[in-house]
Structure 1
Amino acid sequence: MSKPSHVVNIDQVEAVDYREGEGWGGSYQPLTPALDALPGRLGANLTRLPPGRAGCPFHSHAREDEIFYVLSGRVVLRLGDSLQEIGPGDCISCPAGTGVAHQIANPFDQDLVYLGIGVNDPHEVCVYPDSGKVLVRHLKQVGRLESAPYYDGEPARPGIFDLLERQQALPRK
């Protein structure tokens, strides 16, 4: 079993396409396979976002800081309630835990190319304010939450007592 290389050359990294429909996604090249193999480690991708596409839905992170460094092209950054045009040499910091959502879109006529840097936290929780969705990575689920009282759906008699009675009823060896 071979270990991931600690040095990669961008010319030898296959692009991963993550397009969805007419307006979402682009492609990325994972630059840190030695770190990507270990959950919760810092990682970097070279991302290409074609004209007329947004990288992902407007979202905020509970645990993962993100950094985007623009190499070429232009981008519109949506950060909270503001929109700002960003270009080559600009670095965007999106700290986790602030509740401030962010999104990158390319409404321009040339590809946007940027480095995306962040942690792939296996316990990340993302909130998507535009759609009301929540991602819980540990559960491998994206969905919508609904409020419920704390004990809603729980049995009148806690199940632990049934388990205890069954265990005590078993003959001891």
Structure 2
Amino acid sequence: MPERPANIINVADVPEERSLPGVYEAPWKPLTPATTRPGALGVNQVRLPKGRTTSPFHYHLREDEAFFILSGRGVLRYGDALYDVGPGDCISCPAGTGVGHQLANPYDEDLVYLAIGPDDPHEVCVYPDSDKVMVRALKQVGYLHRAPYLDGEPEQPKIFAMIAARERSETSGGR
């Protein structure tokens, strides 16, 4: 039998990783290591212990997200409602709806599920409970405040100084 290529792995061979601390710490296994290009579909197996959630309540502007429950029980917060979830349930969280989602485990048994979604380099994620916004392309999470469109812009846009400098350079022969 030939050696397996990198795009075939067994979940038992993947070490658990940990990301966020405290109530957000939930071990996960990246099951699609060969899928490394931006925008590619990814699958993680998440093990959510009692009293934990994997992320703050949020919604995506560009990335659809789906969860498939393998074992255990949990609670899905979807918008303003709570739903019990368990083995065999598939949860779809489409992008662009403005409806937030969050999974939590208040039960004694670990909740184990597959988290499935793309890794869009231009994703924007909104956190309604804290009013934060994540802009992946800027590698920033923070707070937005309203401002007039031209707030902070110079009276004379820089482009006009650049045009003038280019014209001076052209008339002096590029010297």
Q: Under TM normalisation by the shorter chain, which class is it? A: over 0.9
SS at match of 2:120: coil
Cross-structure match for 1:114: 113
Task: Report the structure number with the largest CA radius of gyration.
Answer: 2
1:15 to 2:16 alignment:
yes
Aligned-partner residue type, residue 45 of structure 1: N
**Equivalences for residues 1-173 of structure 1 within 5 A:** 5-21=6-22, 23-35=23-35, 37-170=36-169, 171-173=172-174
Aligned-partner residue type, residue 105 of structure 1: A
Superposed structure 1 runs of 4+ greater than 4 Å apart:
none
Per the TM alignment, residue 145 of structure 1 is displaced from its structure 2 partner at its CA by 0.3
Distance 1:114 1:17 in 2: 15
Distance 1:168 1:56 in 2: 54
SS at match of 1:38: coil
Per the TM alignment, residue 41 of structure 1 is displaced from its structure 2 partner at its CA by 0.8
Aligned-partner residue type, residue 29 of structure 1: K
Per the TM alignment, residue 53 of structure 1 is displaced from its structure 2 partner at its CA by 0.5
Distance 2:81 2:48 in 1: 21
Aligned-partner residue type, residue 31 of structure 1: L
Per the TM alignment, residue 25 of structure 1 is displaced from its structure 2 partner at its CA by 2.6
Provide the aligned length of Structure 1 versus Structure 2. Answer: 168
Per the TM alignment, residue 172 of structure 1 is displaced from its structure 2 partner at its CA by 2.6
Distance 1:154 1:105 in 2: 44
Distance 1:140 1:172 in 2: 43
Per the TM alignment, residue 27 of structure 1 is displaced from its structure 2 partner at its CA by 1.2
Calculate the TM-score normalised by the size of structure 2: 0.92
Per the TM alignment, residue 49 of structure 1 is displaced from its structure 2 partner at its CA by 0.8
Q: Percent of counterpart pairs with the same letter?
A: 57
Distance 2:173 2:101 in 1: 59
Aligned-partner residue type, residue 10 of structure 2: N
Per the TM alignment, residue 113 of structure 1 is displaced from its structure 2 partner at its CA by 0.5
Aligned-partner residue type, residue 42 of structure 1: L
Where in structure 2 are there 5+ consecutive unaligned residues?
none
Paired residues of 1:51 and 1:110 also in contact (CA < 8 A):
yes
- Output one character per residue of 1:29-70: Cα deviation in whole Å (capped at 9) or x when no partner: 1111121x1010111011111110111000010011111001
